[in-house]
Structure 1
């Protein structure tokens, strides 16, 4: 039950903040950055309520399937749970001593790297990707996005996602300890 509830919360935050990208291509980075930070709280509470190995992989699988169903690449439901599994491996030593302020931010940052997956077609199939953006968002949006996505943008965004994941993880630990543990929710 926790998986379904928290996967839905996670999806709503990611999708809702990602929709800011409709405004302009560069705004997508702000929206996703905000989503990564906010979901640090969601995932920290989820991990504290579901202290089982594989919990992050399940969130990755459910959300990977949801994002694939909404038009993202077919490999999203494969890579998202694998990154979640890597996060689970980082958390494995933490299971006995509660939500670890040291391990959780790193695990969440690794899991958050799935944000790169929808952008991989820019490298793997650029013609197909830009045709898709052209058809779904319009030629002007596609042109502005192509101008934005220079060779350095994806590696820089990967580093930013990781750093935002660390910050979101720290925020999640702090919020969980400050608000959810005191109220008995964590």
Structure 2
């Protein structure tokens, strides 16, 4: 999670993966912690306890890595993962990944995904976009990353803000080929969510 608005998207994705028994390696930038505080009221001064409060009790396993731990397993191509999602993704993080910068563990792990040709998904949250944003997005897609901009839809009949968050989280899980029941798909009846 980096420092763009949209913390609920990341939270919902992590909780969905943990609820299905996945091991999730969580990275939160300093700006990401600020967003969690501002948008969700999370206490960034008690990080381990705060993460346990919101992500504990699921069948899956959460492994939180400090951003400065450049020697963490996920910084190596020999470490096996099924992919990586940066959600929300700031334009600064997107630019760093697009240009091969690895100043922290999140950027290094993303670079590993690209060099190992593993799934890398970015959920940028910015508007309006200028030419540099668009050039960096194009560069990333040409490198094999997938971009899933935070653009909620309305065809599924959202009744709440959480319904809109669930739609975006579901689109990310779809791109990861992870089953979920977060939203009603187009053409499905009300009781068919998958």
TM-score (norm 1): 0.28
Larger RCO (alpha carbons 8 Å, 6+ apart): 1
Task: Considering fraction of residues, name the structure with more strand.
Answer: 2
Task: Considering fraction of residues, name the structure with more helix.
Answer: 1
